């Protein structure tokens, strides 16, 4: 039978055809909308898988510049800040200590409301020591995570900045989050990771501006100072306005001397061993077999099996007598050279710095931070040094939060910074 164009059957079939096309068109629009929701209107990034599969980068890595986005998705872990309008998890490209491309994970938190002219001011956060294993990365934290107690102390500080209208980006560093080598206490590569995340964040969220500050704690305090020092040259498209270093790791040579002479179980032993592992991995002149005893060498792999809390409370290193881990005569020339290259007090930083230290800190020694303050002043840095009585290592983040907010608010506002280098306080007991 031949059907005329006006027959009911033809009309129904044609109508169904248009309906299918409209359905497919709407589906396309929804997909585009999802991509725009993720990217904030920028070029769409590949959506990463859920769960731990997100942290497995493609092999080989896609070709891209430093800071290019590999994949991203919504963040649901405890690093998702409650005051943010949007929290993202991102895998991005940075470079390792030898300059080779490496995948790094991190988080991005965007404030609520409308961004100011020039875009959201942004804080790049550098976290403290959590361990060497991939699972220790802060972006992977949950309420039952291995370093949740530390992440729980970080979260209110960062959330306060988001609530005040700052975007916050937080790198996991190379080797944490994504499995691989973590260059612990290596200021330059950790700093590059923090700066490349700024680039990735602006790709995903163009409402983020180009004016930034750095803030960090402990290991991240050291990384913060290096990030600020290298930022203007490494990421010249951004403008550094200031930085805040809380209880920064320092004086690795002094910590090494202290533990190799101690006849006690020392909390600093894993910290020193993390540095030994890190430095020897990137500098072949450092031979751990000429520094550590055979027994200590046999247990170095234990440091990779868990995070900092586990190392301090379980297994060999939780009960090891410090001096028994070291040979009577050690070959430390190359080690001390690398340690010196990573001392924050040697840096020249173009933007004002706020340095903080608690007097009751037993993790980062008050006398070491006092020395960092003196050294930074000798270098001609604009430094404000604040000490907090009866405040421990993690407590300085809470005690110093208001000062950090006020200091960085003034820096973003373009106000001149005062320096107390002429009359530095002391955190260590006289």
The band of 3, judged by pLDDT with boundaries at 50, 70 and 90, is very low
Chosen domain end from 310, 340, 370 = 340
Rounded-to-integer distance, Cα 36 and Cα 33, Å: 5
Residue 69 φ/ψ, nearest 5 degrees? -85, 130
On whether both 221 and 263 belong to a single domain, the answer is: no
**Ramachandran bin of 390, using left for φ above 0, alpha for ψ from -120 to 50, beta for the remaining angles:** left
On whether both 210 and 92 belong to a single domain, the answer is: yes
What does the pLDDT read at residue 81?
Answer: 98
Rounded-to-integer distance, Cα 34 and Cα 74, Å: 11
Q: In the predicted model, what is the mean pLDDT of residues 386-410?
A: 98
What does the pLDDT read at residue 43?
Answer: 55
**Per-residue pLDDT tens over the stretch 209-241:** 999 999 999 999 999 999 999 999 999 999 999
Rounded-to-integer distance, Cα 333 and Cα 184, Å: 19
On whether both 72 and 149 belong to a single domain, the answer is: yes
Flag whether pLDDT at 1 surpasses 90.
Answer: no
Chosen domain end from 340, 368, 385 = 340
Rounded-to-integer distance, Cα 382 and Cα 397, Å: 21
Give the domain range for residue 57: 51-250+343-423
Chosen domain end from 288, 308, 340 = 340
Q: Is residue 126 part of a domain?
A: yes
Take residue 332 and report the two structure tokens written for it: 């430390």
On whether both 194 and 260 belong to a single domain, the answer is: no
Rounded-to-integer distance, Cα 385 and Cα 398, Å: 16
Q: In the predicted model, what is the mean pLDDT of residues 133-151?
A: 97
Q: Do 222 and 248 contact (CB within 8 A), yes or no?
A: yes
On whether both 348 and 306 belong to a single domain, the answer is: no
On whether both 332 and 358 belong to a single domain, the answer is: no
Q: Is residue 280 part of a domain?
A: yes
The band of 430, judged by pLDDT with boundaries at 50, 70 and 90, is confident
On whether both 182 and 106 belong to a single domain, the answer is: yes
Read off the pTM.
0.90
The band of 18, judged by pLDDT with boundaries at 50, 70 and 90, is very low
Q: Is residue 161 part of a domain?
A: yes
Q: Is residue 30 part of a domain?
A: no
The band of 340, judged by pLDDT with boundaries at 50, 70 and 90, is very high
Q: Is residue 388 part of a domain?
A: yes
On whether both 55 and 201 belong to a single domain, the answer is: yes
Flag whether pLDDT at 367 surpasses 90.
Answer: yes
Q: In the predicted model, what is the mean pLDDT of residues 112-124?
A: 97
The band of 25, judged by pLDDT with boundaries at 50, 70 and 90, is very low
CATH number of the structural domain spanning residue 383? 3.40.50.1820
On whether both 217 and 80 belong to a single domain, the answer is: yes
State whether residue 212 is helix, strand or coil.
Answer: strand
On whether both 214 and 139 belong to a single domain, the answer is: yes
Q: Is residue 175 part of a domain?
A: yes
Rounded-to-integer distance, Cα 389 and Cα 397, Å: 13
- Work out how many domains the chain is built from and give that number: 2
Rounded-to-integer distance, Cα 194 and Cα 172, Å: 9
On whether both 120 and 211 belong to a single domain, the answer is: yes
Take residue 1 and report the two structure tokens written for it: 């039978």
Residue 104 φ/ψ, nearest 5 degrees? -130, 145
On whether both 239 and 315 belong to a single domain, the answer is: no
């Amino acid at each position: 039978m031949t059907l005329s164009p006006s027959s009911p059957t033809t009309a129904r079939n044609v109508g169904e055809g248009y309906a299918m096309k409209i359905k497919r068109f709407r589906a396309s629009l929804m997909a585009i909308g999802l991509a725009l929701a993720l990217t904030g209107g920028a070029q769409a990034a590949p959506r990463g898988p859920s769960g731990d599969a997100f942290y497995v980068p493609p092999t080989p890595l896609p070709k891209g510049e430093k800071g290019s986005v590999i994949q991203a998705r919504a963040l649901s872990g405890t690093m998702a800040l409650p005051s943010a309008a949007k929290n993202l998890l991102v895998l991005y490209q940075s470079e390792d200590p030898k300059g080779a491309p490496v995948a790094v994970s991190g988080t991005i938190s965007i404030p609520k409301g409308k961004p100011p002219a020039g875009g959201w001011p942004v804080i790049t956060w550098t976290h403290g020591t959590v361990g060497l294993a991939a699972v220790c990365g802060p972006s992977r934290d949950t309420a039952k995570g291995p370093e949740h107690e530390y992440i729980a102390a970080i979260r209110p500080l960062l959330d306060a900045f988001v609530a005040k209208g700052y975007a916050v980006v937080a790198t996991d560093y190379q080797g944490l989050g994504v499995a691989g080598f973590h260059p612990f206490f290596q200021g330059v590569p950790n700093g590059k990771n923090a700066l490349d995340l700024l680039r990735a964040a602006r790709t995903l969220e163009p409402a983020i501006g180009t004016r930034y500050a750095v803030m960090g704690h402990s290991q991240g305090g050291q990384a913060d100072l290096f990030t600020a020092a290298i930022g203007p040259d490494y990421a010249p498209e951004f403008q550094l306005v200031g930085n805040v270093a809380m209880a920064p790791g320092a004086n690795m040579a002094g910590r090494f001397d202290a533990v190799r002479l101690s006849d006690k179980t020392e909390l600093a032993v894993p910290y020193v061993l993390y540095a030994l592992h890190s430095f020897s991995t990137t500098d072949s002149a450092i031979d751990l077999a000429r520094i550590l005893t055979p027994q200590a060498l046999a247990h170095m792999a234990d440091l990779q099996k868990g995070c900092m809390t586990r190392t301090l409370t379980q297994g060999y290193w939780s009960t090891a007598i410090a001096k028994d881990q070291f040979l009577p005569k050690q070959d430390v020339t190359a080690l001390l050279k690398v340690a010196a290259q990573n001392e924050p007090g040697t840096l020249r930083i173009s933007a004002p710095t706020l340095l903080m230290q608690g007097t009751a800190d037993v993790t980062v020694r008050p006398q070491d931070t006092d020395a960092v303050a003196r050294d930074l002043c000798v270098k001609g840095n604009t430094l404000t040094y604040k000490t907090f009585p009866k405040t421990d290592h993690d407590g300085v983040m809470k005690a110093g939060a208001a000062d950090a907010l006020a200091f960085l608010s003034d820096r973003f506002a373009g106000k001149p910074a005062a320096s107390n280098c002429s009359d530095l306080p002391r955190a260590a007991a006289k």
